[in-house]
Amino acid sequence: MTKSTKSEVWTVFRRLLGYLKPLKAVFAFAVLGLTTYALVDATFIAVIKPFIDEGFGGQAGQATSSINTLDLGTSGGFNANNEVLFYAPFVVIGLFTLRGLANFVSTYSISYMSARLIMDMRQQVFEHYLTLPVSYMDSENTGNLISRVTYDTEQIARATGSAMITIIRDSITVIGMLGIMFYYSWKLSLCILVIGPIIGYVIATVSKRFRKVSKNIQAAMGSVTAATEQMLKGHKNVLSFGGQETEAARFWKVNDQNRYQTMKLAMAQSVSQPLVMIIGSFALAFVLYAASIDSLKAELTAGTFATILGAMLAMLQPIKNLTRVNAEFQRGIAACTTVFELLDTSPEVDNGTYQVERVQGDLSFNQVNFSYPGQEKAALKDINFTVEQGKTIALVGRSGSGKSTIANLVTRFYTGLSEGKITLDGVNIDDYTLTCLRDQVALVSQQVTLFNDSIANNIAYAYSGEATKEQIIEAATLAHAMEFIEQLPEGLDTQIGEDGVMLSGGQRQRIAIARAILRNSPVLILDEATSALDTESEKAIQLGLDNLRHNRTSIVIAHRLSTIESADQILVVDQGQIIERGNHQSLLEQDGMYAKLYQMQFGS
């Protein structure tokens, strides 16, 4: 492991410990419990010597003498110290009772810390997602983003849970056993100084491997999540196109990749554990051999030898645990690194300071040029237009011409204009705070997002204050949504399922339009908002929107020209440029692209 890698692990671990600061008291109880547990084990090994040497005839020589003389009097044949043997059961019961209590305290405390840590970290990751720019979310795999909240934080909890139990408790156990060994016979214990660094080297070597493979497992889990989410979202299409085998094959590929990475981790783990055990056996063999040397044999008693041997045997399982938990710990560190990289991603830039309760609604694009991040080709070129308060401007053109980009710039979903500026009431939109700017705009896009809740709560979603039932009904009526809501068994209280699955496409869009109407923002953006409506519903929506135009600045993006014939101004956008502008009649008279689009849709 390189120094830089060690430094990286320590930096990540230290940052992780920062999450435990509010839980200092619980952490102290956990450490106390783990320490007590380990010390009880060490104490139990330490009392073996007096039990044997004093309880069964004192020194080994004395015991041998007693046996040789066959002194089978009241001592029971071993010249035993009955007082020591009498208290021995109580000592054992006391030690193991204390051990059990320490185990309860430590296990519960660490479980509590892990649960709090995973909750706090998940909440932080989720809330950080809410601050990230749209450009970042567009560039990331949805499955990976979900995996950060679910799988990665779970791995971190394991690193702070079961791994902490093993690292603290078993480390203290090993140290305690080493202390006992050196206290009773430093000569026999010298072998540990030889094999200790070897074991340390093995653990350090495989740690790097564990961390690398763990990162690959996280990426593989993100792919599994993404494939699952993709299939569930497109379930109807999969069935209608008979794509079951295709999806099964796609999932098998990512699932097998996850299995492959997991087995690589298992291989490294299964090799390291027996290797450490084999190295440890050499130390045990040396102690057994050294005990047969006459010079050492003279210094040893039966109790001393039994204690050292017991301490060495008692160390094997903790060493094995430490080797095994290393994989878990490295997996947690790898997950920490991924989550912290996400949390270090810069949120949306908001340098604006200007705030106003409600703008008039005069919107202007002045020589706007814009390119999406990482793309050289300009998405918009020299865009100029002005929408006065209460007026409606429509944007038409082929798919990918730049219409939605214009709408996204108004709400600052994307920032960083190459040239020009966008103003609202004469103030550059970059000068507004994000919250203030977006409070002024109600957006209804072609991708309607509804939540697994009632219709009323979906209409009142994120409404400032508390919307009354009368306000919700009024908004739904203007959006011509009450026509179908009243026919539902529970009316406004009807649960519509995830993403409004219980409603038709047209009904979902009318709910979204009602939400925008209730918001009552001075600027309204309709991005293909009527694309899923039938002709009758579309006309009804237009009537509702006509009622709002006297005090609302509207930007309507549409493919269906019938929805924007009454717009005050129509802009024809092609390849990021405005190539025609005017009202419906004047554009037909120009006989340009608008006229051709109109003829394609209506045939004359």
Residue ranges of domains in the chain: 3-343, 350-440+522-604, 447-520
Looking at per-residue pLDDT, the higher value among 1 and 152 belongs to: 152
- Rounded distance, CA 51 to CA 432, Å? 81
| pLDDT digits 0-9 by tens, 564-601 | 888 889 999 999 999 999 998 999 889 889 888 888 87
Give the least confident one: 99-113, 190-204, 238-252. 190-204
- Identify which of 106, 304, 84, 273 has the alpha carbon closest to the alpha carbon of residue 187: 304
Looking at per-residue pLDDT, the higher value among 137 and 57 belongs to: 137
Measured on CA atoms in the order 439, 442, 448, 453, is the torsion positive or negative?
positive
User: What number is the average pLDDT over the span 72-100?
Assistant: 68
Would you state the pLDDT for residue 540?
Answer: 63
Give the least confident one: 91-95, 191-195, 391-395, 476-480. 191-195
CATH superfamily, domain 350-440+522-604, is P-loop containing nucleotide triphosphate hydrolases (3.40.50.300)
- Rounded distance, CA 228 to CA 235, Å? 10
Would you state the pLDDT for residue 61?
Answer: 43
User: What number is the average pLDDT over the span 354-373?
Assistant: 92
For the chain, the straight-line distance linking the first and the last C-alpha, in angstroms and rounded, comes to 75
Cβ atoms of residues 509 and 532 within 8 Å: yes
- Identify which of 60, 94, 99 has the alpha carbon closest to the alpha carbon of residue 78: 60
Confidence of residue 480 (pLDDT cuts 50, 70, 90): confident
Which pTM value belongs to this model? 0.73
Give the least confident one: 336-340, 387-391, 496-500, 522-526. 496-500
Q: What is the dotted CATH code of the domain comprising 3-343?
A: 1.20.1560.10
Would you state the pLDDT for residue 543?
Answer: 66
Confidence of residue 59 (pLDDT cuts 50, 70, 90): very low
Question: Six-digit token pair at 581?
Answer: 């502008």
| pLDDT digits 0-9 by tens, 112-163 | 888 888 889 889 999 999 888 888 888 887 778 888 888 888 888 777 777 7
Classify each residue of 223-241 as buried b or exposed e, where b means 16 or more C-beta atoms within 10 Å of its C-beta: bbbbbbebbeeeeeebeee
Residue 400's region, left for phi above 0, alpha for psi from -120 to 50, else beta, is left
Question: Is 350-440+522-604 in the same CATH topology as 3-343?
Answer: no
Cβ atoms of residues 439 and 362 within 8 Å: no
Give, in degrees to the nearest 5, the angle at Cα 47 between 43 and 53: 165
Pairing mode, if any, of strands 427-428 and 380-387?
unpaired
Label each residue of 203-261 as H, E or C.
Answer: HHHHHHHHHHHHHHHHHHHHHHHHHHHHHHHCHHHHHHCCCHHHHHHHHHHHHHHHHHH
- Rounded distance, CA 55 to CA 58, Å? 7
Looking at per-residue pLDDT, the higher value among 193 and 439 belongs to: 439
Domain 447-520 fold is Rossmann fold (3.40.50)
Cβ atoms of residues 117 and 296 within 8 Å: no
Question: Six-digit token pair at 511?
Answer: 């709910």
Coil, helix or strand for 368? strand
